[in-house]
Chain A
Amino acid sequence: MLEMFQYDFMRNAFAAAAVVAIVAGIVGYFLVLRGQTFAGHALAHVGFTGATGAVLVGIAPIWGMVLATVAAGIGMGFMGERLAQRDVAIGLVLALALGLGLLFLHFFTSFATQATTLLFGNVLAVDMHTVWVLLALGSLSLAILAVISRPLLFASLHPELAEAKGVSLRLYSVLFLAIVALTTAECAQIVGVLLVFALMVGPAAAAQRLTSVVTAGVLLSAVLALLEAWFGIALAYYTDWPSSFWITMLSTGVYLIASRPWPMRGLARVSTR
């Protein structure tokens, strides 16, 4: 059982997954609460353009990804809540981003491996340096989120009232989408740009089904994301199937179990009426 920890790449994979899963679980909780999951998905695609562009000009993909997603996140935030939730606009941005990324890859020689890694992730290829970068970026995201979480929650749940009390909806929309952008760039290192939903949305949505209390929900979301990521990597080690596949399987499975109507809850509901 413990033999997998003999390998550096496994230890790095578990460390990177831990950092990213905890950040994704916490940020994802607010993303689901605000109904902006599709925006998060689009940001990841913009990250693909950034990463391939970075490879083309000779910088590490992760920095291209961070730059592109944060710029796009801030841009979306400035366009306003309404637009950031508009399906068509986001869908077009998403397609355009993937198309551009494809063009950049076209100019790059090692097409196939690079594309697969960016799109579907390869946590087993993460080195120690990347773990430290992820830890730094993750700490930054969580630090900003900790500072703004109270007004962000207020603005998310009572936008009109928050506005009346002097809270700038736009400011928090921009800041939050910048945090989401950083987080999607991190998630993409583990599960790739196409599957960031697995870490950012799955655990958070399951947590919101299981508890209606915010603090418990945030913690549960982080714990679920962590367990799903770790078990996904372990299963990948034993089966030799891709880790991203296992993480998405676990994420979807946990959500389905969580959202199944529980017989116990039904009984409790009847007895309180």
Chain B
Amino acid sequence: MNAIELRDVSLTLGGRTILTGISLDIAMGRFVGVLGPNGSGKTTLMRAILGLVPLSRGTIHVLGRPATRGNPAIGYMPQARHSTLDLHLSGRDFVASVTNGHRLGLPIRDRAARAEMERALHLVGAQELASRPLVELSGGERQRLLLAQALIGKPLLLLLDEPLISLDPHRQQEVVELVKSLQVDLGITILFSAHDVNSLLGTIDQVLYLGSGQAALGTIDEVITGPVLSRLYGSHIDVVRLEGRIFVMSGSCCAEIDEHRHEPASMSMHDPQRTHSGDA
């Protein structure tokens, strides 16, 4: 059984085509890095796997069953929203609100719910910091709590949307190592979206690269190549390898690194789609 199967999947969002006729299989137990320029559909693909976005064509199967909303086998870590993370609310309550969160009643935790929460916190090494309020935590510490929250309910598939955003390189490495160890220890499948393949080098089994409605799945060596990326970006792309790092170059610009910048200043650069920002 595959973790995820896409068959001839087409997706449009607000009149904009995100994916056209994609078919691919992601095997169980893989750590897959999801890459691609802003607006290429990384978030939308995850939301489609969760059953939150209707497909215009094709089918998605998750763990052998059609993708439906509320699938308990999927853990999801959305992109961090800072309005919530600035609350004076204990990390433990923040994570605990996920346990049985869909059931009616008072938010009182029974023993099983508390055990499940502590297990998730233990997995990410956040038992200590969970007693502090969110507003006092650093970016990396908050990511740990968001990861703990995604692990509640023992999911078999983990969808992590940009967990490295706004972290410094050292913290990025910590998060990647933590996710890798979870994948190995729990034997789960992970989709991990990121802007820069370098932060995932040596960790991921496969890359799923999205762009221009197309997708390419394979090892880094198979996918991060000039011809494949030129097709996905719709313009000529060179891939330069230097001292174990990979640079994806569009003309004289470093295409992937540009994607890091969310400030309006970088919006005017070569990709007109980037003005849509907000990661469709």
Residues of B within 8 A of A269 (CB): 136
Whether a CB of chain A sits under 8 angstroms from the CB of B102 is yes
Q: Which of B111-167 contact A (CB under 8 A)?
A: 132-134, 136, 149-150
Report whether over half of chain A's contact residues are helix, strand or loop; otherwise say mixed. helix
Residues of A within 8 A of B104 (CB): 147-148, 150-151
A154 adjacent to B93 (CB under 8 Å): no
Whether a CB of chain B sits under 8 angstroms from the CB of A158 is yes
The smallest C-beta distance from B236 to any residue of chain A, in angstroms, reads 36
Residues of A within 8 A of B90 (CB): 212-214
Q: Report the stretch among A70-78, A162-170, A220-228 that lies at the interface.
A: A162-170
Q: Which of A150, A160, A162, A164 contacts B74 (CB 8 A)?
A: A164
- Given A33-B89, A212-B93, are A164 and B70 also a contact pair (CB < 8 Å)? yes
Total interface residues on A, CB under 8 Å, equals 31
B106 adjacent to A208 (CB under 8 Å): no
Closest to B43 in A: A160
Q: Which of A160, A162, A213 contacts B101 (CB 8 A)?
A: A162
Q: Which of B76, B93, B132 contacts A164 (CB 8 A)?
A: B76
Whether a CB of chain B sits under 8 angstroms from the CB of A149 is yes
Q: Report the stretch among B29-37, B80-88, B259-267 that lies at the interface.
A: B80-88
The smallest C-beta distance from B85 to any residue of chain A, in angstroms, reads 10
A214 adjacent to B89 (CB under 8 Å): yes
C-alpha spacing A209/B98, complex, angstroms: 23
Which of B70, B97, B150 counts the most A-chain CB atoms under 10 A from its CB?
B97
- Given A208-B87, A209-B88, are A166 and B70 also a contact pair (CB < 8 Å)? yes
Q: Which of A129-172 contact B (CB under 8 A)?
A: 146-151, 153-167
Whether a CB of chain B sits under 8 angstroms from the CB of A35 is yes
B52 adjacent to A164 (CB under 8 Å): yes
Q: A150-B105, A151-B102, A208-B89 are in contact. List 12 more A-B contacts (CB 8 A).
A: A35-B83, A146-B106, A150-B97, A151-B103, A153-B97, A157-B89, A157-B97, A158-B98, A158-B101, A167-B102, A213-B93, A269-B136
